[in-house]
Structure 1
Amino acid sequence: MSVDSEQAQTHRCYRHPDRETLVSCSSCGRYICTSCMTPAAVGIRCPECAGGSASGGRRRMVSPGSRGAVVTMALIVANVLVFLAQLVQSGSAGAINNRIVADGGVDALTVADGEIYRLVTAAFIHAGIAHIAFNMFGLWILGAALENYLGSPRMLLIYASSVVWGSAGAILLSPDALTVGASGGVFGLMGALLVLSRHRGMEMMRSALGPVLLLNLVFTFAIPGISIGGHLGGLAGGAVAAAILGGFGRGHMAYGRLTPILGAAAVVLVIGGIIAGVGAAHLA
């Protein structure tokens, strides 16, 4: 099969051929639908690998990214470590008003005063156990799927774009609020997967991603206290980054490689998010 025809191929679940998917097993590399996904310590596994990982005779397809989502796990570990530091400092799992939040959360005033690092640090701070649990579950599922499909460098750039554009959106729509949480980054991963689904000719609403996105958008607008700007900004940042970086998936000869042009374009997008955040802060 030629490279072009492989790139254009729509992947289907190996157990349910009528279901299109972008997610593959992190152990054997076979493509699986949402019904067949089993969360593992690293990535997502198919039913066979999840149920028989101890079997020594199982055939394994080794390809870039198939052995684990290293960047995804590193991001989760970083978030958890920061949250543990918050717990130690505040002494309460539900306390948001501690020094780490005050020094790392993002708002217009502090960013306008030159504390630009908050555009990134806010994504590693959470307001409580439920907050971090929900975000880390989303990061685990979506991040591992994206990293397994595109490779670690491109997944990291997409997440970085999502984070900074999410912070910019939070400042733009809620300049006086101190915003924390990885939800902008998680929404960006969701947007990236939707773009990749579209790129491969899949109907988004027929996949599991469409309803999940709609449900999260409903929650974003319906539940008080959620950063609408952070979610929408992250969604846009991840979607645009995926449009730039998402041309080469697992079946393509360029899988796992980040070309200088694509990398530079993604870095420009990340820098653009930082500039947008600073600009929004000064306009507030």
Structure 2
Amino acid sequence: MLATYRQGPEGGTPLLIVHGLFGSARNWGAVARRLARDRLVLTVDMRNHGDSFRDPDHGYEDMAGDLARVIERNGDSADVLGHSMGGKAAMVLALTRPELVDRLIVGDIAPVAYSHTQLHLVQAMQELDLTGLTRRSEADSKLARIVPDSGTRAFLLQSLDLKSSPARWKLNLDVLSAEMDGILGWPDIDSRFDGPALFLTGENSDYFRQEYRPETKRLFPRARFARIRGAGHWLHADKPREFEAAAASFLVR
């Protein structure tokens, strides 16, 4: 089972929140707490991330299977919100196990294969000398030589465990590197999800382009689209209140 964290009142349909590549459940702390005011919210660490298990396989069918087990452990079905890699895993879950997904929210990702790569970030983390590190600011200074963007560094460093002796990444970097092509890709799935689906994108992100809409509508006929102004790819971190409001509005029954 994935490491799973619960908050909010028990009963009713839970909301399952699924983080993206290099993330963890803790990235969603503030948004999850606010959405949990009147419902049960489950956040998870995906396989090879955070405190969840390590596995040599990191395909979307595998990740969707992990999410299915979490839902089955906590009820009959769930609303599912996934971002980036987690959004793809959530889409695959909805397409392959539609009976488990009531409403689907996908954050800034489309059901297509992408041509960019994140291998440079994996390599940057692998090359960072963790010897003797005790403060995140020290790690940030060292990582800045390889990763110039401060926002990206701050995100990656959330997965650095400085309480461990020695310090370690809470990511299975070797597997994520080996599986990167599949993470950026999209499995060949001949099915569709007929439930309500909301695709939220960041105004300043190019992850979801206009030309991706026809394929998205083919797989998710009831898809709705909304753009959050001033947000980039990590739209829930850039504009958390706006993201929360859009998600909450869509989830109202």
Q: Same fold (TM over 0.5)?
A: no
Name the TM-score, length of structure 1 as normaliser: 0.26
Higher strand share: 2
| Structure (1/2) with the larger helix percentage | 1
- Where relative contact order (Cα < 8 A, 6+ residues apart) is larger, the structure is 1
Q: Which has the larger radius of gyration?
A: 1
TM-score with structure 2 setting the length:
0.28
